[in-house]
């Protein structure tokens, strides 16, 4: 039989989605599964957003829109990028609305990558980056961070990795899975390195509104790299709108135009109703976002407190997002990897977590606190029971 696309065959499937599927299957079989594997807020979409969607349906806003997104939303996103992120070049012409931030990143990679190009990804990384780079026909180059560097890319490490084949560097702050955020000073140092190299930067800032320790800074606001940075954001995490599929980006006009062309030939416009809902989110849901953020902050503290008294694991306090990156190195043996531990926790103790392997760094578990305090308490109780069983 004729071989299928080598590019597609080479791309991996999302491990987080497969764990979520297994957790759902166990729950369907009647097990009391607690999922700390989820990558989405557990809050309902804010009421003002839901109402705007219903109004859009009733008003007949149910047809194709401009492929790049409705003008009102592009204007609102450009305004957000200019005022909240100091991305001074953002305008209705340089904003592209897509079907989720994932789609934004994929469109950007399609516009950037040629065969033989390399794209730098920082590990631990969001599960989808390597596969997306492969699908865009380029080669992922993984730069591993360490606990000693706070899981942050170091300027000299970046400099050593950049070469003539590097087409793009993907940065993610706040980071999924570690929750780590780069400071202004750290981003300035990375921007100084990137200023000497002719490549693009994709800055994935999808968790920008969910922060606990410091203010978010966009690398695209720095003059040296502003003309080569694509800043990605969206509605999924901040507004509890994962299912609505609205993401957006801004970047250099010539690149956004090509990314828009990809989208127009691929999916056409994002869902018209969701676009009107996203507009309401940007304009009216700030108080809802703050409510969700402060709930996440409380849960973050609860989870850190619960894990803090467990001697064999070490939790990294996250600056942002809704994940705790748990060092379980002390539990590993030649026969027991972090993937094995995640499997045992799910299959025997019905707690779903995601092993570090999914993010390119074994020896860790990612625990999501996008679930109730009650669930967090019961999940940690089960984890403690499991750990005790390892010693007995």
Ligand X SMILES: Cc1ncc(COP(=O)(O)O)c(C=O)c1O
Contact criterion met (CB below 8 Å) for 71 and 61: no
The contact pattern for ligand X, residues 196-215, with x = CB under 6 A and - = no contact, is --------x-x---------
E strand spans, the chain: 34-35, 95-98, 118-123, 139-144, 166-172, 200-204, 229-234, 247-250, 314-316, 323-327, 351-352, 354-355, 364-368
* DSSP 8-state symbol, 77: H
- Phi, psi dihedral angles at 23 (to 5 degrees): -60, -40
Between CA 143 and CA 35 the distance in angstroms is 30
Rule CB under 6 A: say whether 242 interacts with ligand X.
yes
Judged by CB under 6 A, does residue 234 bind ligand X?
A: yes
Q: What is the strand order of the sheet 323-327 is part of?
A: 314-316, 323-327, 364-368, 354-355
Report the site for ligand X in 2-41 (rule: CB under 6 A). 39
Binding to ligand X by residue 282, rule CB under 6 A? no
Residue nearest to ligand X (CB): 100
Of 100 and 363, which CB lies nearer to ligand X in the complex structure?
A: 100
Of positions 41, 46, 69, 100, contacts ligand X by CB under 6 A: 100
**CA gap 21, 15 in Å, rounded:** 10
Which of 81, 126, 151, 350 forms a contact with ligand X (CB under 6 A)? 126
List the beta bridge partners of residue 201.
169, 229
Helix, strand, coil distribution of the chain in percent, nearest 5: 45, 15, 40
With CB under 6 A as the contact rule, the residue among 247, 251, 320, 363 that binds ligand X is 247
Residue from 369, 365, 360 nearest 127 by CA = 360
* In the complex, least distance from residue 288 CB atom to ligand X, rounded to whole angstroms: 17
Segment near ligand X (CB under 6 A); pick from 94-102, 223-231, 275-283, 291-299: 94-102
Q: Are 62 and 256 in contact (CB under 8 A)?
A: no
Among candidate residues 323, 240, 245, 246, the one with its CA nearest the CA of residue 43: 240
- The site string for ligand X over 168-187 (x = CB under 6 A, - otherwise) reads ----x---x-----------
Instruction: Say how many residues touch ligand X, by CB under 6 A.
Output: 13
Q: How far is the CB of 181 from ligand X (least distance, A)?
A: 12
Residue 214: CB minimum distance to ligand X, A: 18
Q: Give the interface segment with ligand X, choosing from 97-105, 114-122, 132-140, 149-157 (CB under 6 A).
A: 97-105
Cβ at position 245, least distance to ligand X in Å: 7
CA of residue 391 relative to chain centroid, distance: 35
> Cβ of residue 321: shortest distance to ligand X, in angstroms?
7
For ligand X, which is the closer residue by CB, 266 or 344? 266
Residue choice 74, 80, 85, 102 for contact with ligand X (CB under 6 A) = 102
Helix axes 15-28, 338-349, angle to 10 degrees: 20
**Cβ at position 101, least distance to ligand X in Å:** 3
Binding site for ligand X (CB under 6 A): 39, 100-102, 126, 172, 176, 204, 206, 234, 236, 242, 247
């Amino acid at each position: 039989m004729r071989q299928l696309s080598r590019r597609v065959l080479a791309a991996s499937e999302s491990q987080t989605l497969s764990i979520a599927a297994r957790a759902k299957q166990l729950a369907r079989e009647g097990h009391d599964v607690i999922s700390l594997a989820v990558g989405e807020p557990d809050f309902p979409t804010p009421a003002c957003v839901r109402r705007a969607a219903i109004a859009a349906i009733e008003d007949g806003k149910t047809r194709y829109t401009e492929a790049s997104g409705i003008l009102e939303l592009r204007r609102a996103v450009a305004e957000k990028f200019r005022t909240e992120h100091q991305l001074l070049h953002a305008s209705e012409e340089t904003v592209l609305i897509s079907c989720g931030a994932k789609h934004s990143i994929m469109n950007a990679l399609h516009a950037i990558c040629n065969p033989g190009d390399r794209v730098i990804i920082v590990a631990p990384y969001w599960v989808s980056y390597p596969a997306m780079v492969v699908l865009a026909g380029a080669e992922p180059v993984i730069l591993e961070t360490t606990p000693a560097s706070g899981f942050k890319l170091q300027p000299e490490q970046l400099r050593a990795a950049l070469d003539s084949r590097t087409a793009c560097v993907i940065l993610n702050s706040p980071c999924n899975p570690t929750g780590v955020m780069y400071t202004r000073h750290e981003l300035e140092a990375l921007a100084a390195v990137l200023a000497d190299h002719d490549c693009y930067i994709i800055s994935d800032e999808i968790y920008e509104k969910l922060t606990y320790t410091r203010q978010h800074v966009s690398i695209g606001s720095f003059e040296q790299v502003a003309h080569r940075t694509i800043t990605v954001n969206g509605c999924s995490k901040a507004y509890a709108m994962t299912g609505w599929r609205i993401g957006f980006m801004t970047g250099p006009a010539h690149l956004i135009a090509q990314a828009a062309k990809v989208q127009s030939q691929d999916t056409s416009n994002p869902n018209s109703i969701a676009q009107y809902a996203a507009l309401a989110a940007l304009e009216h849901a700030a108080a809802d976002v703050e409510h969700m953020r402060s709930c996440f902050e409380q849960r973050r503290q609860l989870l850190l407190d619960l894990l803090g008294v467990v001697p064999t694991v070490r939790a990294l306090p996250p600056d942002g997002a809704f994940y705790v990156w748990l060092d379980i190195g002390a539990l590993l043996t030649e026969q027991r990897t972090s993937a094995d531990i995640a499997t045992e926790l799910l299959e025997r103790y019905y707690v779903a977590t995601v092993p570090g392997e999914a993010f390119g760094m074994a020896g860790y578990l990612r625990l999501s606190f996008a679930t109730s305090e009650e669930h967090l308490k019961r999940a940690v109780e089960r984890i403690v029971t499991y750990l005790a069983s390892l010693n007995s």
